[in-house]
Structure 1
């Protein structure tokens, strides 16, 4: 049984000059008026404390109801929050996950006081009880999350935090302190504490064995864990100590943390986030319960009316002037800002050959039923995509609404629009038009009734798709994507790099023809250049990113070919690129092993039941390995790839052992003529079986 205790203990025109003078006078008066009523630092630093435990169902169903949100297989029973059920001998304990949250979100920073980050302290008393003395599984975590929900298929190694599809996505918006009792290929050991950010692959992890602490020993042992977050210093510290008895006073807090790391919560989680616990079991099981929980967190005061004395002065002398000045200034700035944004967008649109159609906002709002969540098709780091219907035209559309801040959204909108506006190919999703209204930016695409390739290959739980794709359709889709990519690389009047090739960005029309979509990361490069780089670093999705990109921070046609290779293997094998099989951490390494053993056809998706063409399957698997060559110059070009898929050209020689990655040479003389990038990558050399890479990525989900 597991338990946690958290203790938080340019020159202006004349009229513009006049407005500026008014604004200056207004600002001075405003400051003088507000000085007595300004909230002091001492007033900001107030804490509220929540103390809970032992627990019972009154927290959910009785007089204390709505204190906790209980999700999936979690429960409240036997005086504890049971994050996974406490039912020894019940077979359903295997491959289970659960979460229990405090039902109200906490405000983690305050925009009204300079963006001050809240500090909090948390400590938990745990007893992770191993049901089978020989096999623990899997672990528990304290989590700060954006919503009261739990991902599907989050059992096993995913600790109820993520799943194979979303692990590592920036849109996850969570931070967790994990107590892990099973060693995965990416783990330090089977007894460690880790800091997880949007992924179960910990950013920082520390083995507890060197401290003489075993999270899940044989028998009943309690531990107390403290998690302290300093919002001013942006530091998170984690402490742990043994606890003799769950009913005894909490053990003394150690003087030194076992884990300490910098952490800017503002860059990771939502401003209002939920605190709680997450846990999972796999083939091995353990009982995870929270016996007591105490939260102490900084709270920000609501805005209060000023002292009456100064309010009277303001009303009698300053308020009229302040209101006039501020009103004029705000109106002027908003009009100017809006005009600048509109001018930038319209200027770019006018420069485009064949200006795309402009849709009316009300028309798209009505088509999507006011952007109803029920019409949401997908969501990524740049925006949300909704299904819409234009009744007058009897046309179904996909409407992409950009959702980052205004400046970034404008850049995202213009980048995607300028790339895809002139692209015309039967295997590309077609842009229908755009809309810009009051800062809201929308792109309108043709709707793909069969969704994404990803959804058909994997048939995720909860999906309406029940049957996997036939071999004929898989081969047809692969061919279509190859034609689309060859068009981007070689047939369009500019070289275009997609930069985010993956199965979820390949859309399927009513006849299951492939349509390559989501050009949010795509970039055109000048004909005399071979790469594109930007200051934000490496973009894309882990498993599809070529190894040289981590070193150079640049995307090339060769890196697109690498992503295409990952798709080839994914489609034939029915496994995601980051799937761990046996001792191989990546799908490509496993397929290369089978190639070496001359058993490559064993990689074909077993769900096909041998209903595939052997020669075609072998051809695509070997082509996938050739495209995945660690050395960029050794990968085939797209013209050759199209011919190989058609069967008119043989697959190039694929070595039986995966070649080692060699750092590409860097031509420093070209740095003045190219945009350089600094990747946010920490890397270790690649070997023939696995790689060790930690990277911050911008992941853009598909438009389905």
Structure 2
């Protein structure tokens, strides 16, 4: 079955797909993807739809590249075959100059079963191939995989590129179970062994494998993904390499498969499903007509075109005016980071594919993106936040938020790289943190001692430094409001980066109520929220310090602040447990037992006392942020902490609501990294 579907750009295009009595008509779209899809194969129905060469056939619901009978072993010996889609595809648009031509992107998805009986020695191999014509070389059995032969192998005039699935080791192969990128030869340009990935191409027990071969024409990158049929597409390719197809294959080439058997190496080479998505290049776009009834087509065109135009005009008049105003304001902001195009971020995240998802919160989803830099082959990993709040229509708040956050610069803050605002969609782009969040290392399923004592102390010190910048060193006071382990990101060297700022709001203290932020009640995580916040519903510098104290205890003790600890037949919260050990003169016993004796006693004692001091129930008794940094550096001694935890006393509302300074409240957004 053949279908066609459009891929729409942001410029205005009218796309019509009409199927009337077998008639298909499509207008010029910015990019048109032609797709054929076979979920099964039928000998009677499909033999005429493919070009079968050598010993290839369609039988048993599959494309059989080599003989598929199992009656006698000798039938399989030294056979080869190819099966092609019989029409060529244009792979680049030269525009008068081959070097400047646009390369077409494509994705070929297929399901294979390379079967062998237990007594057979698997071989020789199977390949997805791009070829210049509908032929097969003579004597291409055995090690030649149906691609070349002893005379033609390595000849540039072959003009073939293939992805091989090799099951027989030759002198030039890494093993007998690998994939490779082949250019005019069976000697692979790039090879990857599949054994470390737990994949065996031709196992004794027949196994169906899904394969994705995808080519990015803009980046000139070929990727191969593989997994058992029914499993989701893997998040990372098994093979990835740069190749400019213009240099190796004909402008119009054929897509298909090749395979071979040898002696005594034999196997069945079966393709059970095949789907191909091919980009139609700009130079080839235009009206394609298959007409059985011109009056019917014209009537449908007028009706559908009128509906599309009216909807477009309505959206354009309302949306573009609003969007234009916002974009103008954003671009005038001094020092504003890079503005990205939506289509570039969409491509970087593989169309916001589930496999690139890093995290999700109430305000949006964060994806890992790989940006292709213009003018070279380098790439940059980023975290892309797709903002999903319905009240983003409040453009005044949005401008105030981005005006603050884009100016934050500190080595222990996650950096805002850029932004995108198109068609009412807001996306923020941040530095990608390869080591994820702090809590995943402290509480992950497979604790691996990655966070040794030195790294833990440096993490606490980094977060303290970031907090000092927000509270004292930035030109306005910034209150983070949601400091916790899952919002502390770790870069490639495990340095702390405080993230999850969300979108900053410039608010006076008398407007810093959580309820006024319209976030559906008091946000935060139990164990990190200062007790006064439950009464005042306000974020303050002191409540940030309380949360920092919880983080300090979390890092040192390796326990969540919200966890319950059983001691002497009683249950304690983390802070109460540490305070009890402090009262008994045994505070260092709170250190994470997974560290063993691999920690510095004085530093551990200093951090634990600091954590308790920051956790003081009375906001006014907590240390200032500057004092915290001095304690961490050792320039000031550890704070004095009373042996018994003081009781919480709620100050009067009048004293808590008296404005003293201007601060910025940062509402919670889901984490920006894994």
Alignment TM-score, normalising by the size of structure 1: 0.47
Alignment TM-score, normalising by the size of structure 2: 0.49
Of structures 1 and 2, the larger Rg is shown by 2
